[in-house]
Each structure stands twice: as C-alpha cells, then as structure tokens.
A and B are shown apart, each in its own frame.
Chain A
Amino acid sequence: METFVQQLINGLVLGSIYALVALGYTMVYGILGLINFAHGDITMIGALVSLTLIQLLAAAGIPAPVILLLAGGGAVMVCAILGLSIERIAYRPLRRAPRLAPLITAIGVSILLQYSAALIWGKQYIALPKIIEPAQLTIFGAQLTSLQAAIFLLACTIMAGLLWFIKTSRMGRAMRATEQNPDVAGLMGVNTNTIIAFTFVLGSAIGAIAGLMIVLYYGLGHYFMGFMLGLKAFTAAVLGGIGNVGGAVLGGLLLGVIESLASGYIGDLTGGVLGSNYRDIFAFLVLVLVLVLRPAGLLGHQGGDRV
C-alpha cells in the first residue's frame, strides 16, 4: 500500500510534466493536423537554456527564487521565439503540401535542434547546481518533496489557466473556430496565420516551463533528453485523444501514473528479471495499445480524424 501511494504521487508529479509537453503536441495537431515532432526538442532547449541561466545566476550569488524566475522567463522567451520561427520558416510554406511533407520536415527540425544543442552545450550530461534544498513532506505515509509539490501545483495551475483561456476568451474561441474550419474562421475576420503562430508560441512557452521542471526534477540536462520526453508526451496526447486539450491533460497524468506504478512493481512481477530501469517500455506499450484498441484516444471523437 505504501509503495502504491508513493508511486501514485511520483506518477502524478511526472505526469503533470508530460501533460504540459503533451499540450504542445495536441494544440498544434488540432489546428494543423501536424504532429510536430520537434516539440520534444523545443522542450529540451527550454531545459538547457534554463540550466545555463541557473548556472550563471547561481555563480553570481543571486537568491534562488529570483534565479528560478529568471531562468523560467528566459527559457519561455527563447522557446517562444524558436516555436514562432519554426512555424514561419519550416511549416508555413508547406501548409498546402501533402501531409507527409511537413511531417518529414518536423523530423528534420527535431534533428536540427538536437545537433544545434549538442554544438552549444556538448554531448555530456549537464548537472544542475544545488540552489534549492527541498523540504521532505509526508502524506499518507508517502514521501513528497516540496519541489515535487511545487511542480505539480504549478503544472496544474498552467493547465487550468490554459483550459479556461481556450474555453472563455475571444482568442481561445478563435483558436477553436480555426481548428474546426479555417476558411470560415477567415470569413469571420480571424487571421488564421496569427492564430496558428500564436498556438506555436503558446505550446513552446509551456514546453519551456516543462523543460525547467524536468531539469529541477532530475537535476540533469542533456541534448538528447527531448527525444524520450517528446515520445512520452506524444503518447500522452494520443492516449487522451490527440487534438483534444483536456485529453492531453488526462493522458499526461495517466501515463505518468501508469509508468510509475508499473516500474514500481515490475521487479516483483517479473521475479526480479526486469528492474525499474525498464520504465520507458510502458509508454510505448501504452502507445501501441491505444493505437490498436482506441485510436481516437480517451476523449477523442471516435471516427473523426481531428478533435
């Protein structure tokens, strides 16, 4: 029971980060029908930028809360500009091309970002300087650090804010309209190019925060970290129903919990043959199962290609 609650908590925290990244996949898919494979790497750039900023600011002796704020702000800015440029340069010219063209371009952009990061930051793991000393909390007999709690709460706040924004604001309504019928949205006066660019900026900015969270959570950064994170977030988006924003939230949390629970028990289940270092298997297992059993995902529209 204790392991269960412990793994559940770990899963929810990690899952909330997956969910943030999954939002970027799902929003872009909803509006363009494009799987933006570069999104995981945008998150990686956010992670490494915030890592570097933390290193620099920590060396300058700035207090930790200020460091985190500046690192987060810097990462958000870099990723927002990056997302905007990628859409403009790589995807917009292919808007009317066959679907395969932007998909292959997305993979190209992903590789480009990875190797640019390798050039800038090197190929070794980068360690986070110790700037915070998280407190240990105990709930239901399980351990939780104040850092985990903060990550989870911030992620939930961002997700709730985004859902509220899409549901109630004029811009959010225009985003949904563009997603459902871009031509008619244009007839209503919506500049769909602006909406699409804004979607990339929003997804990338949220990805940047997720990148900072990952760095704080694992204490490490690496130029290739966006690959696995991206695949898991994509799985989460598919699990929830790709194109569906609420689905990305649900899928992320669920995937985190599945992965955590499964890796917590995998040793017992296999008689010690497989250890918890096999945890990454579960994301793919989930992906395959969803694609076979319920391709539209949990909250997706059955039979529909889009949201």
Chain B
Amino acid sequence: MLSVHKLVVAYGGIKAVKGIDLEVRRGEVVALIGANGAGKSSTLKALSGLLKPSAGRIDYDGAEITGKPAYHLVRRGLAMVPEGRGVFPRLTVAENLAMGAYIHDDKSAIARDFERAYTLFPRLAERRAQPAGTLSGGEQQMLAMARALMCRPRLLLLDEPSMGLAPLMVQKIFETVRAVAAEGVTMLLVEQNAKLALETCDRGYVMESGAIVLADNAKTLLSSPQVRQAYLGE
C-alpha cells in the first residue's frame, strides 16, 4: 500500500533521513521505533506531505506521491495524527472534529462519524462545546485521534500517540489503535514506547540517526537482544 524508496529528508543542508526504504502492506500495522532525533517524525512528515523530500520516491496505492501536498493526500485516504497532537486550540472539540470531516460533504455519513467518535471517546462528547486548548493532554490526544478518523483514512500515520500520557490513557490509546486496525485501516505507528508498539504491530522498523538499522516481524524484534538492550531497557 505504501512503499518508500531511498527517501531523504533534509533541513537546510542537514540530512535528518538518509535514504531509507520502508514498506507497509494493506491491512498491516507497522511500528517505527528509534531514539530521540532518529528521524521518525521527519519520515512521517515526508510521507504525509508536510515536508518535501530532498530525494527518493514514495508510492501509495499504486501511484507515486513524492512531494504531493498534504491536502491532496488526505483526499486519497492518507491521514496523519501529528506529533504533539496538533489540535486547533481555539476551535471547540466539535469544530476540531468537523475539520476532520473537511474533505467530506455527505451530511448523514458525517453525522455517523461524529456518533462513532463520541462513542469511541465519551469524554469528547462531554467536552464537545469546549475549546480544544482547554482539554488535558490525554483528552487532546483522543481528539487528535478521533479527528484523524473523521477523515476516513485507509492509511493512518500516528506520531507518538502515547507521548506524555498516564499508563491508563496509554492503554486506552493502544486499544483504539487495535480497534481501528480491526476495521481494516492500515497503520504506520511511531512510538517511544517500543514494547507496547511492537506488541500491537505486525512488523517493525528500527531507526537510528536517519537510517533503518533493523526491520523484521514485531515478535522477532521484541526478542532481539539489540532491541531489548537499546529500547526495552534490559
């Protein structure tokens, strides 16, 4: 579904992503893990169209999308929950969700999407008229996730959905990831929480200083000494 070939992302002259290859097949949930500054977010930004790659090629759904802008890609079913949530702070919760439905105009289907978002996260229903900036971090993360689902993605990129959340909230977010995957949405998940990520995913990539250093089944990675030492703190 998504195929990345020799992708390079640079800021000015500095390369943050140094020619990586990456594959996500339809229906898979794939993890991308790595230390701070490894280039995970830069990779996702290039995939979602927020950053133009300096080199390489990205194919999605049978067509090249290298350098295509985000507003174009989301119409083709490629959505992203950005790092740090990125809720619109002075729009209400409901307005944020409505922004997620920006590309759709089938009123009754949008109403069903709202329904589903509020069922998935009842807390958001209680807070629907409240500016998103006044939500707690965890609530904002729920909102960011719910909003991305309003786009009706076929491929969802998630950048550290558990960042800064309490354990219970982390469980809730990962439950949602599994539920969304069960609906058939393909996902690429960037996470600091390597253990949970690999337990949730089918396959995983490990990134270090802009390069992919390991790629394997999630189970194999979980038991690999290299991963256990570097990312699972053993």
Q: Do A and B make up one complex?
A: yes
Could you tell me which A residues sit within 8 Å of B by CB distance? 170, 173-174, 176-177, 180-181, 183-192, 307
- Contact call B102/A170, Cβ cutoff below 8 A: yes
- Contact call B82/A188, Cβ cutoff below 8 A: no
Our pick among A185, A187, A192 for the contact of B80 (Cβ within 8 Å) is A187
- Contact call A186/B89, Cβ cutoff below 8 A: no
- Contact call A174/B86, Cβ cutoff below 8 A: no
Contacts A187-B82, A189-B71, A192-B71; is A176 near B90 (CB within 8 Å)? yes
B58 beta carbon closer than 8 Å to chain A: no
For A186, the chain B residues whose CB sits under 8 A away are 49-50, 69-71
- Contact call A174/B88, Cβ cutoff below 8 A: no
For B86, the chain A residues whose CB sits under 8 A away are 181, 183-184, 187
Give the total of B residues in contact with A, Cβ under 8 Å: 25
For B88, the chain A residues whose CB sits under 8 A away are 176-177, 180-181, 184-185
For A190, the chain B residues whose CB sits under 8 A away are 71, 99, 102
- Contact call B89/A189, Cβ cutoff below 8 A: no
Main secondary structure on A side of the interface with B: helix
- Contact call B151/A189, Cβ cutoff below 8 A: yes
B79 beta carbon closer than 8 Å to chain A: yes
For B95, the chain A residues whose CB sits under 8 A away are 173, 176
User: CA of A185 to CA of B50 in the docked complex: distance in angstroms?
Assistant: 11
For A189, the chain B residues whose CB sits under 8 A away are 71, 74-75, 102-103, 151
Instruction: Give B131 Cβ to nearest chain A Cβ, in Å.
Output: 10
B177 beta carbon closer than 8 Å to chain A: no
User: CA of A216 to CA of B173 in the docked complex: distance in angstroms?
Assistant: 61
A-B residue pairs in contact (CB < 8 Å), sample of 16: A170-B102, A176-B88, A176-B95, A180-B88, A181-B86, A183-B82, A184-B82, A184-B87, A184-B88, A186-B49, A187-B79, A187-B80, A188-B99, A189-B103, A190-B71, A191-B71
- Contact call B69/A173, Cβ cutoff below 8 A: no
Chain A residue, CB-CB nearest to B96:
A177
Instruction: Give B19 Cβ to nearest chain A Cβ, in Å.
Output: 24
Contacts A173-B99, A177-B99; is A187 near B91 (CB within 8 Å)? no
For B50, the chain A residues whose CB sits under 8 A away are 183, 186-187
Chain B residue, CB-CB nearest to A176:
B91
- Contact call B70/A307, Cβ cutoff below 8 A: no
Contacts A173-B98, A181-B86, A183-B86; is A188 near B103 (CB within 8 Å)? yes
